[in-house]
Amino acid sequence: MKAWWTLAAAGVAAVVAFGTGLAVGLPPVQTEKPRRNSWEVSALFPTPVIGAGVAVVLDRLIGAYWPVLGVVSGVFAAVFVKNIEKVFPRPDQG
Amino acid sequence: MAWLNFVLIDILMGLPEGPGVEGARAIAESVEERGGDISGGYFMGNIVCSPDASAGTLLASVGYVCMGIPGGILAALGVYIGNRLCADPGYAGTTGSLTATALVTLYDKVLGMDPTCFVAGMVIAITTLHGLDHPRASRLLGDMARRLNRGPKT
């Protein structure tokens, strides 16, 4: 069933995104407290969400072999999150 | 279920603690002037000004109807991007999307409920907070926030 392969790609992407995020120097979780107000990004949030979401998009658009999609999406997510401030800068405080 | 999902996630992620943007503060002060609660007003202002767990629950339900579980994951990505564009770090919206996807999956696969019911349920849930009586809704939300230790900081 098609949806299961999409989910498999998303799962691989989330795991690869977390691992690659750690490898590129993201902290495992937000270090600022309280975390719910922190603008800091980490390997746990939002990297796996972006990786899984991109894997779903690529699966629908390209439909390549699911492990390849997962790895590519995961690596992309980690690099994107590492540089997220250049795309979505945090608002001025105060 | 849709109401509980979005209200509890939004409260736990701190929406009633303060305004994320000036628009949310204006809405909260307007609600307070009409006899409402400032904390509930912050909650209501924040869900207007940024896609939080309310939008996450709705979009995840719609995504699930269209694509199944991958649709919910896609909704989480879309909500996160929307959050970042709206001066919001994105915890409430993204978490709300993922928990809504889990809930809709559970209700669809295990209990056999039509997932479109969640879409309708979310529209009704938003109407109860934003469409009927702002002061009463804000007092309910403010009371829930204080019970969950998420009252206003100032």
Q: Which residue has the higher pLDDT, A76 or B20?
A: A76
Min Cα separation B10/chain A (Å): 11
pLDDT of residue B154 exceeding 70: no
On the question of a cis peptide bond just before residue B115, with omega within 30 degrees of 0, the verdict is no
Q: Are B54 and B69 in contact (CB under 8 A)?
A: no
Q: What is the pLDDT of residues B88-140, one digit of tens each?
A: 888 999 999 999 999 999 999 898 889 999 999 999 999 998 888 889 999 99
Q: What is the pLDDT of residues A15-32, one digit of tens each?
A: 999 999 999 999 999 888
Query: What is the rounded distance in angstroms from the CA atom of residue A82 to the CA atom of residue B19?
Result: 27
* A–B interface: beta-carbon pairs under 8 A: 61
Q: What is the pLDDT of residues B51-98, one digit of tens each?
A: 888 899 999 999 999 999 999 999 999 999 999 998 888 899 999 999
Q: Write the residue in B21, B73, B89 that is nearest to A56 by C-beta.
A: B73
ipTM of the complex in this document: 0.91
A84 touches chain B (CB under 8 A): yes
DSSP state of B150: -
Domain chopping of chain B, boundaries: 2-147
Say yes or no for a CB contact (<8 Å) between B67 and A3.
yes
Query: What is the rounded distance in angstroms from the CA atom of residue B115 to the CA atom of residue B39?
Result: 32
Domain chopping of chain A, boundaries: 2-87
Cβ of A48: how many Cβ atoms within 10 Å? Answer: 24
